[in-house]
Amino acid sequence: MSTTPDLVREYLLLGLRFDRLIEGFVDAYIGDAALRRQVDNEPRPDPAALARQAAQLRAELPAAGLPEPRVRFLDAHLTALECSGRMLAGQRVGFVTEVAAYFDVIIKPGDPEAYRQAHAEIDRLLPGTEPLADRLAAYRARDEIAPERLEPAVQALSSALRDRVRASFGLPAQETVRYEVVTDKPWSGFNYYLGDFRSRVAINADLGHRMAAVPHLVAHESYPGHHTEHCRKEAGLVRTQRHAEQTIFLVNTPQCLMAEGLADLGLRVAVGPGWGPWAAEILGDLGLRMDGEFAERLETAAAGLLGVRQDAALMLHDRGLDPEDVLAYLRRWLLVPEARARQMVRFLADPLWRAYTSTYVEGYRLLSTWLEARSPAQPLSSRYLRLLDEPLIPSMVRAELAQKGA
């Protein structure tokens, strides 16, 4: 990385220093190992000083001689890091302002009427006299995969999705994903990108994974989601175009909203309508029985509840409501049992992840709209390829939508 501009090098050092303050702040780093060693040998940094450095680097960006897309990318990410530094230094920042700085998006509460409509559709699909939450829980219990059968199911779906992604988007010949089942985590799955086109994907067995949900999880974490994005950006932006800023992936930055949005759209892009019967056939070969058509209809109906978790984050961190009230809200609208709702509140209360729910909600909304706004002649796969390959940020996507009048 000897050709790395000094400002980009300082950006990498800044990101690595945040990881000294909060372990896990650097989600992935595949850059110059000497920079990592340098930071590891430094005294523990002062968060307020890191915030000031982020602001200083932003001020220097216009004179850095970088192309405009790289300037916009770095500007948005330095904005996020400045906010993280201020928060870690104990400064009070409003939650909506915090999310805007991190993810380049303005959030607001969802519409309860949309949630009622989703409930009505779920009620139609699961008729009965018992409370709707009980009916849904009973269905999901029948759909659950036994822990000892989870890893074979993940491997089978991963292999099938990998074949599709290789045909549609192309992947380096040596790329690989290794799966492991873990417990006691605040998330359902996590991609650890190791560089050189390798990922380790951890699946949290505590959450009781369902046949209808595992295809989405595998598509999200691996093909064509996080693993595919990392591989293509390493092959293109990092190794070919020498965009050294892409060697680091930082939590609570616009990268995350883009990555989670494209990953949540992965199954739609890789398989599309009919993913339920497709998955049922693969799982059936393992002796797992799922009504694929019904599962797809029910998952589509439940997608209308997307904004509920973001509402809960606003209740907890913007309005300062009691966590028990937030728990009740999640149980009411998401129709989930108490244990599952408490897991969600745990995620929302985690200092590192408290704002992160917005990446799933707003990322999916923004990128879904953007994908559908393509010209009639443009295939969905070629539109999605831009998300995998380009250093886009939410404001750039919104600008494109505004130009099209979408």
For the stretch 171-207, pLDDT in tens is 999 999 999 988 877 677 899 999 999 999 999 877 7
With beta carbons less than 8 A apart as the criterion, state whether 363 and 374 touch: no
Residues 264 and 360 in one domain: yes
Residues 271 and 168 in one domain: yes
Residue 210 domain-assigned (yes or no): yes
Residues 263 and 132 in one domain: yes
Residues 59 and 127 in one domain: no
What are the residues whose beta carbons fall under 8 Å from the beta carbon of 326, sequence distance 6 or more?
312, 315, 316, 345, 348
pLDDT at 3: 41
Residues 191 and 262 in one domain: yes
User: Which of the listed residues 93, 123, 151 is the one where a domain comes to its end?
Assistant: 93
Residues 88 and 119 in one domain: no
Residues 47 and 140 in one domain: no
pLDDT at 305: 98
Residue 1 domain-assigned (yes or no): no
Residues 81 and 142 in one domain: no
**pTM of the predicted model over 0.85:** yes
pLDDT at 1: 34
Residue 98 domain-assigned (yes or no): no
Residues 195 and 138 in one domain: yes
pLDDT at 406: 55
pLDDT at 4: 55
Neighbours of 341 (CB within 10 A): 20
The number of folded domains in the chain is 2
Instruction: Spell out, as residue ranges, where the chain has pLDDT lower than 50.
Output: 1-3
Residue 169 domain-assigned (yes or no): yes
Residue 102 domain-assigned (yes or no): no
Residue 107 domain-assigned (yes or no): no
User: Which of the listed residues 93, 123, 158 is the one where a domain comes to its end?
Assistant: 93
Rounded-to-integer distance, Cα 310 and Cα 32, Å: 36
Enter the tokens of residue 323.
């966590």
pLDDT at 205: 79
What are the residues whose beta carbons fall under 8 Å from the beta carbon of 254, sequence distance 6 or more?
73, 76, 77, 80, 102, 103, 104, 393, 394
Residue 254 domain-assigned (yes or no): yes
Q: Which domain holds residue 31?
A: 6-93
pLDDT at 343: 87
User: Which of the listed residues 42, 63, 93 is the one where a domain comes to its end?
Assistant: 93
Enter the tokens of residue 284.
């059936």
Packed helices 68-88 and 47-60: angle between N→C axes, nearest 10 degrees: 160
Residues 225 and 325 in one domain: yes
How would you label 268-284 residue by residue, b for 16+ Cβ within 10 Å and e otherwise?
bbbbeeebbebbbebbe
Residues 57 and 134 in one domain: no
Residues 39 and 162 in one domain: no
Residue 76 domain-assigned (yes or no): yes
Residue 102: closest CA among 62, 57, 54, 140: 54
pLDDT at 384: 97
